[in-house]
Amino acid sequence: MSGVQVQGAAVEVVRRKAGPAFVLLGVVQVTLIFTLAAIAVPLPHIGREFGLVRAELVLLSAAYGLTFAGLLLFGGRLADRFGGRRVLTVGLVGFAAASVLVPLAPSYPALLGARFAQGAGAALVAPAAMAVLRSVFPEPAAYGRAMATWGGLSMLGATAGNLLAGVISAVTSWRLAFAVPLVVAVGALLLAPRLLPDAPPAEQKPGLDPAGAGLATGGVVLASYGLVLSDAYGWTAYEVLLPLLAGIGLLLGFLAVERRVVAPLLPPRFLLNRRRGLGLVAIALTAAGTSTTFVLFSLHLQEGRGWSPLETSAAFVPFAAALILSGRLAGPLIGRYGAGRVAGGGLLVGAAGLGLLALAGFTPSLPYVTGLLPGLLLLPAGAAASFAGAAVLATDGVPPGEAGLAGGVLNTAMELGATVVFALVLAVGGDGPSLAAAAAGFALLALLNYRSVHC
């Protein structure tokens, strides 16, 4: 058999496995965000079990996201340098090991440490999965269609985390909800060698930039840590100001280093592409708007109305249905109208949903069906379309050797957007002003997307 025939046979095998490979990688991505969101609904139960104060609850809820966001850029570069499937396997092993410890945690320190470890494993898995995805769909058109679907998976994972964690906590124990990540991780480890291509490292291996990696990781973790603790201590407390200012200083140092090193962790040119920049901002803002609404709505139902975790989860069912339906429609719409238009249109629909919620306000006397439900249907419908279009924009034109970097940047934008905006929401205070500000941000970014398409 000639070399051309061997290469053609290999391509045919990859195409046959593309569907199952995408499903496997998609389930892994959904599970990573499920694990992030699953702590929200059972958090009051965990606090009562371990006797936690507010600051400890805030830190526990943020622990996974801190290491996840902090290590994503480095995880992306590792995937580009050593190969997507290899880094994916290492990350899944670490994620699975930490997922064993979470449901078995006998104390708060053990649970907190396990959540930090889960986030570190996820920071390797998420960008490596996108690097493998680039190998599964080597043709640009097919990769663009895959990313249109991939963009909505994170929101699906967040919604599933809120829904299933509430149901499982009500029926059995909150600990059982955290067995889901373990099952998925073990299953992925078993199936990966059969379904996923080897995803070889880039021909020109990127440098790991240890100085930049240390500054970026430390800066993101410390700044995010300060932001999340602002809810418990207030903005003037040293517990908030010290890590926040230190994190900002490290991030400024990171930007200075990246301009000087030969092989930067995050090449400045990567963010200078206008469409990519708009896509990343859209991802950050959409993640912020939806996650903030999740938290405010969950608190309103459980604390303002006295609903149980099971009732609270049931209230998110229409949200999930609108999300899934919009996600299924987003791909064909992107193929017909373009990613920029779909992202902009999604942002406008999301802005309308947030605007309705802001006008209604979360008051106990407000009817759920006529007062809250319209906004809770429009928001996920718009957000799913925005995520899908923005994911295509953010990864458009990325070479295969930077697919891991793209995955790290995309997921970092999503995590930091949610963390920063939620901290600002707590500082502003009040559900109405917070949601109104988010709606205005959605509308402004929709306008910028529209202008970029027509320039």
Domain count, the chain: 2
CA dihedral 410, 413, 415, 418 (to 10 degrees): -140
Q: Do residues 276 and 292 share a domain? A: yes
Residue 76 lies in a domain: yes
CATH code where residue 133 lies? 1.20.1250.20
Residue 201 lies in a domain: no
Q: Do residues 189 and 227 share a domain? A: no
Domain boundary pick from 249, 264, 279: 264
Report how far residue 350's alpha carbon sits from residue 348's, in angstroms, rounded to the nearest whole number: 5
Residue 183 lies in a domain: yes
Q: Do residues 154 and 219 share a domain? A: no
Q: Do residues 326 and 249 share a domain? A: no
Q: Look at residues 451, 450, 455 and name the one whose alpha carbon lies nearest to residue 341.
A: 450
Residue 97 lies in a domain: yes
Q: Do residues 254 and 274 share a domain? A: no
Q: Do residues 115 and 235 share a domain? A: no
Residue 153 lies in a domain: yes
- Tens place of pLDDT for every residue, the chain, 455 residues? 444 443 444 444 456 678 899 999 999 999 999 998 888 778 878 888 999 887 788 888 888 988 998 899 899 989 988 888 999 999 999 999 999 999 999 999 999 999 999 999 999 999 999 999 988 998 888 888 888 888 888 888 888 887 887 788 778 888 888 889 999 999 999 999 999 987 666 566 666 788 888 998 899 889 888 887 887 787 888 888 999 999 999 999 998 888 888 888 888 888 888 888 888 888 888 888 887 787 777 777 777 788 877 787 788 889 889 999 998 899 899 988 888 889 888 988 988 888 888 777 777 777 888 888 898 899 999 999 999 999 998 888 888 888 888 899 998 888 887 777 666 666 655 555 566 666 776 776 676 665 555 44
Quote the tokens at residue 228: 């999340």
Q: Do residues 337 and 233 share a domain? A: no
Q: Do residues 249 and 151 share a domain? A: no
Q: Do residues 216 and 188 share a domain? A: no
Q: Do residues 235 and 127 share a domain? A: no
Domain boundary pick from 225, 242, 264: 264
CB 132 within 8 A of CB 92: no
Q: Do residues 305 and 159 share a domain? A: yes
Domain boundary pick from 219, 240, 264: 264
Residue 204 lies in a domain: no
Q: Do residues 304 and 394 share a domain? A: yes
Residue 184 lies in a domain: yes
Residue 394 lies in a domain: yes
Q: Which residues form the domain of 81?
A: 13-196+265-454
Report how far residue 154's alpha carbon sits from residue 16's, in angstroms, rounded to the nearest whole number: 25
pTM: 0.85
